Structures are given as structure tokens and as C-alpha cells.
Amino acid sequence: AGNYGFQAQPMGVPGGFVVPPVYSQPTMGGTNWMPIPPSIPNCPPGLEYLTQIDQILIHQQLELLEIVTGFEESNKYELKNALGQRVYFAAEDTDCLTRNCCGPSRPFTIRITDNLGHEVITLQRPLRCSMCCCPCCLQELEVQAPPGTTVGYVVQNWHACLPKFTIQDGKRMDILKITGPCVVCSCCEDVNFEVKSVDETCTVGRISKHWTGFVREMFTDADNFGISFPMDLDVKMKAVMIGACFLIDFMFFEHGSNKHQRAGVW
């Protein structure tokens, strides 16, 4: 659609992921970071990394205080490439009252920084009713890159059975669709949300919630995700897909107060 070119994503490799070329692996502060790419004309600063990858792995960090007390802490995430090199670091910016009173339905700002500590992507989710029977109050997330410049939105679409979303550009033009499974349960297997063309005839990527083991699923709300997208997809839409992953996490898997539901034990 428009200038957002993409091709069908090869889905023959497990998870639909294709290992990118090997890069050098510098270590900064004990963390193995992806090398800083050169500047690219007309590319939002900090998104140059996304031109070199077709996969992002998102690992939520474990919070000891939250595990012991159940007191909801701000979420923090590492975003890595297929080689395990950190591409970005993401941190939730919310207050204590909002986290513990609103739970996974809370409004949030997530700030994503590069390996120089520069904020390159900002995700903003307003407070909306989370009940599926309220089609007038569906979830939405705004993606800014750089902060202050809106590059796209993730909009929930009402459906009686399936989790469905639309990825839009900064002008509210529909670019991609996301469809999840009827039963969003992470018991002993990955949960896949398929990313498709606007007419939903072609699968171009995937957002997967990875099964991390019974103990971790049962007693924590720290989740691991994988995102695959076409290498030639516009970097702004790649950033919006990252935002979609965070929205899906909060909507379906951030249930710290109900560990049995998270582990698929009813």
C-alpha cells in the first residue's frame, strides 16, 4: 500500500524467522550490542538498525520484587537480533498507582532507546475499556519515531471470536492486518499472531509469544516474543509492528495477578 513495499515472508523456517547476515559483535558495558549502522537518508534517526534485520526478539526482564511480593513493577525489555545482539532497550514509564490499580489495562508510555541511550521510539497507549463487548472503546497504540513524530498506529478491530488489529501509518492509512488465534493460551506452545496484507490474502510476518517453561509462565509475567517481518518493509512500519507486540503483550499475557490463567491451568 502506498510507499510501504513488502513481499510475502518465507514461513518455511520454524517461527517464520530467517537468520540475517553475521555482524561483528562489540561489547559495551557488559552487553553485546548490535553495531551502530550508518545514517540513511529519509530514515528516522535510530531506526537504521531495522533496515538490517527481518527479526526482533523481545525478552522481558524478571523483576525480583514483583516475583516475591506480587507488587507490579515497571516492565523492562531487551530487543535483540537473531544473533543475540541487543538492538534496543525498552522501559515502561508509568507511576506506581497506575500499574497496581489498572493492571494490564493501564495506559502506558514505553520509551525505546538505542545503544547510545537515545530515545528513538515512543509508544503511547491511552486508557481504554478492555471489555470485548464494548466495540466503541477498542484498544489503540500510537508509535512515534523519533519522539514527537507519529509514524503509525495499532488499532484493535472488533471481532466476536478473534483478536484482530490494523497497522496504520501516520496518516491513518491501513497498511497491514494482524489476526490472532481464537483461544489465546500459552500452555506448552507458542502463540502466533499472523501479520497479513490489508486484504488478508498474503501472510507477510508474524508476532509470536514464546513458551518459556511452566515455572516461569506460572510464577511470573515476564514474557518472550519474536517478531518477523520482510527485510524490505518500511522501517516505520517495522517500528509500528514492535508497538503491536507490546500492545498484544499487555492485552493477553500481562496477567500477573492470575498465574494459573497465564500457564493455561484453569
Which residue type sits at 155? V
Read off the amino acid at residue 141.
L
pLDDT at 164: 96
DSSP assignment, residue 33? B
3-state secondary structure of 8: coil
Instruction: Specify the pLDDT at position 192.
Output: 95
8 in any annotated domain: no
pLDDT at 30: 65
* Number of folded domains that form the chain: 1
Domain membership of residue 92 (yes or no) is yes
Residue 210 is predicted with a pLDDT of: 86
Does 16 fall in a domain? Answer: no
d(CA 223, CA 241): 17
Confidence at residue 66, expressed as pLDDT on a 0 to 100 scale: 60
Enclosing domain of residue 159: 48-253
Q: Per the domain annotation, does 95 fall within a domain?
A: yes
Is residue 239 one of the residues assigned to a domain? yes
Kindly give the residue spans of alpha helices, DSSP state H, lying in the chain.
64-69, 96-102, 214-219, 235-248, 259-262
Residue 21 is placed in which grid cell? 547476515
3-state secondary structure 7-75: CCCCCCCHHHCCCCCCCCCCEECCEEECCCCCCCCCCCCCCHHHHHCCEEEEEECCCHHHHHHCCCCCC
Per residue in 128-157, pLDDT (tens digit) is: 876 555 666 789 999 999 999 999 999 999
Structural domain contains residue 104:
yes
Within-domain flag for 147:
yes
Would you say residue 207 lies in a domain? yes
Its pTM stands at 0.82
Residue 90's pLDDT is: 97
Residue 84 CA to residue 139 CA, distance in Å, equals 31
Structure confidence at residue 98 (pLDDT): 86
Residue 73 to residue 237: CA distance in whole angstroms: 29
Can you give the CATH number for the domain in which 113 is found? 3.20.90
Contacts of 208 (CB under 8 A, 6+ apart): 15, 16, 190, 191, 192, 193, 225, 226, 227, 228
- Whether 135 and 158 have beta carbons less than 8 Å apart is answered as yes
Which amino acid is it at 223? D
- The pLDDT tens digits for 95-115 are 888 888 888 889 999 999 998
> What averages of pLDDT result for each successive group of 10 residues across the chain (266 residues)?
52 43 50 89 95 95 66 86 95 89 89 95 88 71 97 94 95 97 79 96 94 57 87 97 96 63 36
> Does residue 152 contact residue 168 with C-beta atoms inside 8 Å?
yes
